[in-house]
Structures are given as C-alpha cells and as structure tokens.
Copies of this chain bind each other. A is one copy, B any other.
C-alpha cells in the first residue's frame, strides 16, 4: 500500500516525504472519515512537529492524484476518505459519525440522471442522514 503512494507521488512529480506517507497511512487505516484537525491531532504523538498546514497541503495533493476523496456532509469542515471507490456515506445526526455504505448499486439512478441532464457528468456524491444503531439504543425517544 505504502509503496503505491510512493509510486503515485513520484509519477506526478511530487516528492515522497515522511509526513505524506504518515498522513496517507493513517487515513487508509481508519474508517472514521476524519477531518484535518483530527488527522493532525492523531498524528501528533508520532510526528510532534508536523503542522496543520501540512495536513491541508498533503490532502490537496492526495486528492489531486486520486488517493483520497473529500467529503462535505453539511458540516463546517471537510472530511477525508482513503477509500476512493465511489460509495455513499451516511451521517448520524446524533453522534456525528460518518459511515460508508458499500455494495449498493446506484447504477440505474445515475444512468437516469446522466440521460435527463445535459451536463457532462464526471462524478457524484450521495449523502444519507439518520440515526446510527448505537444512538438508537441509547435513546428510544429520538426527538
């Protein structure tokens, strides 16, 4: 995996640095869809000198070479996902967690949109909102 990032970076003319590897490795080892600050905080113990700006700059590069996708789920900050295959996300309105939704075929839906709009489509993002299983247990009275 790490060697893949290395190759991808070099191919596009970007240098391979410990920070970039650390950020990508961290992101691809979590399912939590962290935002920049969370990534920064979680890497602090290992890279105490790394700055938040580096996280942002690195994310921009990783997005550019297609190694991460950027999520914007109606929050005030962006989240990042190393799982780049296009898949829907669902956010718990109670605890704020964001989960992947895998193995769903939106094919028909996407095709309909593609044929009904005059846009030249290049991508899509599907966001669902609700209450996650854990939060459902904790409060039987969802306000």
Contacts and interface: CB of A to CB of B under 8 A. Distances in A.
A101 B121 contact: no
Nearest to A133: B118
Contacts of A74: 70, 72, 78, 125
Tallying the copies of this chain within the complex gives 2
A119 B113 contact: no
Contact of A120 (B113, B123, B124, B131): B131
A117 interface: yes
A3 interface: no
Interface string A96-118: 00010101111011001100111
Contacts of A116: 101, 103-104
A75 B131 CA distance: 25
Given A72-B74, A125-B74, A120 B109 contact: no
A54 to B, nearest CB: 20
Interface in A66-93: 70, 72-75, 78, 88, 90, 92-93
The 9 closest A-B pairs by CB, nearest first: A119-B130, A121-B130, A109-B109, A118-B133, A120-B131, A124-B128, A123-B129, A72-B74, A125-B127
Interface of A: 70, 72-75, 78, 88, 90, 92-93, 99, 101, 103-106, 108-109, 112-113, 116-133, 136, 142
